[in-house]
Chains A and B, each alone.
Chain A
Amino acid sequence: MSRLNTARVLFATRFAEMAEYRAEVVIWMLSGTLSLVMMLVWMAQAQAAPGGQIRGYDAAGFATYFLSTWLVSQLLVVWVAWELDFEIRQGTLSAKLLRPLDPMWTHYASHVAERLVRLVPMLVLVTAFALLSGARFTTEWWAYPAALGLAALGFTARFLYEYAIGLLAFWTESSTSFQELAWLVYAALGGMFAPLDFYPAWVQAVAVWTPFPYMLGLPAQLLAGKAGPEDALRGALVMLGWLVVFWFLRLAVWRAGLKKYGAVGA
């Protein structure tokens, strides 16, 4: 019961904090435009192609795929590595270590609360973009909870591995640069540049062994109506496996880092 209470208070305070930043949240949403840029390029390419199609995607098909990617990627946003970098370098982590709760949970609550702040402007924007670009999302009702569930698993997995990368700040000043490289792999294999089947065969063969296609590309394909329930189920199982891996990875880096940590001035 007290655990539940802790979670409730944690979430309520984080939500209040995030609601303060609502203008920034909208700015962040609009600054991540890679999938929108790629959408426009592919749409123009499809229109110019003979038959109006590239690999079975017409302009509206590309619009649907990339808007879905954009929508899912909004739910997968994680910035914890930047905060850890700051906390470890400035030593503000020390005070948090005194609490009888792993600081990770505060960050996790912040991220989840931010999703709620993001929800309304996100739906407004995606509706506007869909009207402008002619995207058509699937009419199968089950695809929406399935995509949301996969996005929730994907977000948690991404949070854990980004947390582990952020903890590298115990050893190096450049942890945020590693984070940027990790983002590149996530964006490429997740399918932000193009649907995964547009990639060379060997890249696809590598990608299926990583979590990225299941956290970003698969939920996007579900929303676009190009993936079935069995794909969703398989993706969920793969993501659960990765969650276990990342959970222990994060824990190992955290334990090793704490041994190394001697706060600023200590």
Chain B
Amino acid sequence: MSRYLRLLRIFTGATLSAQLEYRANFVGALLASLGEVGVALLGLGIVFGQPGISSVGGWSFREALLVTGFFMLTEGVISVFIQPNMSKIADAIRTGSMDFTLLKPIDAQFGVSTRHLNVLRAPDLLIGLGLIAYAASGLSVTPGGVLGAALLYVSAVVIVYCIWLALSTTAFWFVKTQNVAELFNGVFGAARFPVSAFPLPVRAFLTFVVPVAFITTVPAQAMTGELAWGAALASPVVAAALFVVTRLFWLRAVGSYTSASS
């Protein structure tokens, strides 16, 4: 365990020093972050800007903004921690450099999941937290609600990670799947809004098929104190189940890996 913690520190240091070489890119990354939050806020702003609309799916503006905050935070988590690693899996398989990862005396899944960071997109995390804080300041939020939201958000991150890993792992068989994660982004776009803002069949899809509801709506509900116990329990259960399934899937994929030249 302590060896893995030490490795995490080394990986972080290496990836940080590599990225700080290209400081000018920060301006570009900041523009991209602003574009991202612009899309999220415009969508919400136009809906609430119509005369006579004071709630979306039973959520007031502040409450819906809370969901948008969790959406931006998750965009940040994906851009900073998940995407930089997962996008390299397909390439490593195509070029055969996955060999080096598999030969190292550490768990390969740990290796491919933690080696890289994209600190340039860290503003997304701050924007997300800022939006959550601003939205919560106008609502009555209890410390228990914040704690519950934080815990449920951990399961949310695990769910996001598992979906990305599962999609990226398909590259072991199909090789050309650099873009497959885009499919998740397409569905994840719906997480800008609370799930109750969607028609009923879509709501079911976002809860049971692609569990997007657990990523932004459920933590926001925990914060406003409107979360049912069932959903609060379901989130960690779904996260744990997904983690086990993707772990098995990953092991199966690595077992069938034959390197690039063979």
Contacts and interface: CB of A to CB of B under 8 A. Distances in A.
Q: Are A and B genuine complex partners?
A: yes
A24 B179 contact: yes
Q: A-side binding surface: helix, strand, loop or mixed?
A: helix
B182 interface: yes
Nearest to B38: A184
Interface residues of B, number: 39
A181 B46 contact: no
B56 A28 contact: no
Given A33-B187, A41-B56, A28 B199 contact: no
B28 A173 contact: yes
B186 to A, nearest CB: 4
Contacts of A45: 47, 53, 56, 197
Interface stretch (B72-80, B96-104, B155-163, B188-196): B188-196
Interface stretch (A47-55, A96-104, A216-224): A47-55
A24 B199 CA distance: 29
B57 A172 contact: no
B180 interface: yes
B106 interface: no
Contacts of B197: 40-41, 44-45
B19 interface: no
Contact of B198 (A33, A44, A173, A188): A44
A40 B35 contact: no
Interface of B: 22, 24-25, 27-32, 34-35, 38-39, 42-43, 46-47, 49-50, 52-53, 56-57, 176, 179-180, 182-183, 185-187, 189-190, 192-193, 197-199, 202
25 contacts: A24-B179, A27-B179, A27-B180, A27-B182, A30-B186, A34-B43, A34-B189, A37-B43, A40-B197, A40-B198, A40-B202, A41-B56, A45-B53, A54-B52, A54-B53, A172-B24, A175-B28, A177-B28, A177-B31, A180-B31, A180-B32, A183-B35, A184-B35, A184-B39, A184-B42
What are the 6 A-B residue pairs with the smallest beta carbon separation, nearest first? A174-B28, A177-B28, A31-B182, A177-B31, A31-B186, A33-B186
Given A41-B193, A174-B29, A184-B35, 20 more contacts: A24-B179, A32-B186, A33-B187, A34-B43, A37-B190, A40-B202, A41-B43, A44-B57, A45-B56, A172-B24, A172-B28, A174-B27, A174-B31, A177-B28, A177-B29, A177-B32, A177-B35, A180-B35, A184-B38, A199-B46
